[in-house]
Amino acid sequence: MKALLLRDLRLAIRAGGGFGLSLAFFLIVVVLVPFGVGPESDILSRIGPGILWVAALLATLLSLDRQFALDHEDGALPLIATSPLPLEAVALAKALAHWLTTGLPLTLAAAPLGVLLNLDPAAYPWIVLTLGLGTPALSVIGTFGAALTVGIRRGGLLLSLLVLPLYVPTLIFGAEAARRGAQGLEVATPLLMLAGITAGSLALLPFAAGGVLRINLR
């Protein structure tokens, strides 16, 4: 599993598409929003936490189709599947690599980018906390979706459609916790729910992803 994780991280760094892709996309969305909705800072700061969460979610979504597709195209996936590593571990390693190259940098970048959205200073720690808690769930859920669509050429569309509904609870609790935190309201409930979703996904979804991969490789 370590071998696979290291290889994926190395590939992500070599291609430059790993850390960079999602971060750049995140930045792009955050910069574009004011051009679209106008520069009034009161509106921007009100929608700020939500925009950051949606942007993070989109950036995650977009990097998903590379999860298994590249290995599938060049024939590496069947070779990995016939190796001693169980497919469940493969899925977990892939999810972990995805989070390290996507979720983690996004979380760290969210605070500085908040400046562009005139975010209330009180909101920063909450944004970082909720993203840090929520992005692992996004990676694992997304890996499951990527495993589902691996055999489908250009499965990107389908992947987004499948994964989006699965992302909704994470988004709702994450954005809600960030918003409440920023306004000094009670945050325990959404935070707990968010943590629960992450823990549950981490515990269960790698098994589902492994099974689905096995079916897709037949």
Partner 1 sequence: MTLRVQGLAVARGGVPVLTDLGFTVDPGHALVLRGPNGAGKTTLLRVLAGLAPPLAGRIDLPPESAAYASHADGIKATLSVTENLRFWAALYGRPWADQVLDDFDLRTLKDRPAGTLSAGQSRRLGLARLGVIGRQVLLLDEPTVSLDAASVARFAAWLRERHLGRGGIAVIATHVPLGLDAPELDLAWFRADPAAVSHGTDAAFL
Partner 2 sequence: MSIWEYANPKKFIATTTPVIPWAFGGAMLCLLVGLVWGFFLTPQADRFGSTVKIIYVHVPSAMMAINAWAMMLVASLIWLIRRHHVSALAAKAAAPVGMTMTLIALFTGAVWGQPMWGTWWAWDPRLTSFLILFLFYLGYIALWEAIPDPDQAADLTSVLCLVGSVFAILSRYAVLFWNQGLHQGATLSLDAKENISDVYWFPLLVCLAGFILLFVALVLMRTGTEIRVRRLRALERQAQRALA
Q: What residues make contact with partner 1 under the rule CB under 8 A?
A: 2-4, 6-7, 10-11, 14-15, 71, 73-85, 153, 217-218
Nearest partner of 77 among 207, 175, 212, 168, judged by Cα:
212
Residue type, 112: P
Q: How many CB atoms lie within 10 A of CB 182?
A: 22
From CA 154, how far away is CA 71, in angstroms rounded? 14
Q: Spell out the alpha helix ranges (H) of the chain.
A: 2-15, 19-37, 41-63, 66-73, 76-81, 87-98, 104-114, 124-148, 156-183, 188-217
Nearer to partner 1, 4 or 147 (CB): 4
Nearest partner of 68 among 137, 142, 136, 138, judged by Cα:
142
Of 5-13, 67-75, 124-132, 188-196, the window that binds partner 2 (rule: CB under 8 A) is 188-196
* Residues at the site binding a second copy, with contacts judged by CB under 8 A: 15-17, 20-21, 24-25, 28-29, 31-33, 35-38, 43, 46-47, 49-51, 53-54, 57-58, 61-62, 66, 70, 153-154, 156-158, 160-161, 164, 167-168, 171-172, 175, 179
* Site size for partner 2 (CB under 8 A): 42
Nearer to partner 1, 127 or 213 (CB): 213
Nearer to a second copy, 157 or 192 (CB): 157
Phi/psi for 152 (5° steps) reads -90, 120
Nearer to partner 1, 186 or 218 (CB): 218
Nearer to partner 1, 84 or 121 (CB): 84
- Contact by Cβ (8 Å): 44, 174: no
Q: How many CB atoms lie within 10 A of CB 162?
A: 17
Residue 50 binds which entry of partner 2, a second copy, partner 1, none, CB below 5-8 Å type-dependent:
a second copy
- The separation between CA 169 and the C-alpha centre of its own chain, rounded to angstroms, equals 14
41 binds partner 2 (CB under 8 A): yes
* Inter-CA distances, 207 with 88, 94, 99, 199, Å: 5, 13, 18, 14
Of 6-14, 50-58, 97-105, 186-194, the window that binds partner 2 (rule: CB under 8 A) is 186-194
Q: Which of 135, 144, 178, 206 binds partner 2 (CB under 8 A)?
A: 144
Nearest approach in angstroms of CB 115 to partner 1 is 34
Nearer to a second copy, 42 or 84 (CB): 42
From CA 62, how far away is CA 159, in angstroms rounded? 9
Q: How many CB atoms lie within 10 A of CB 73?
A: 10
Nearest approach in angstroms of CB 68 to partner 2 is 14
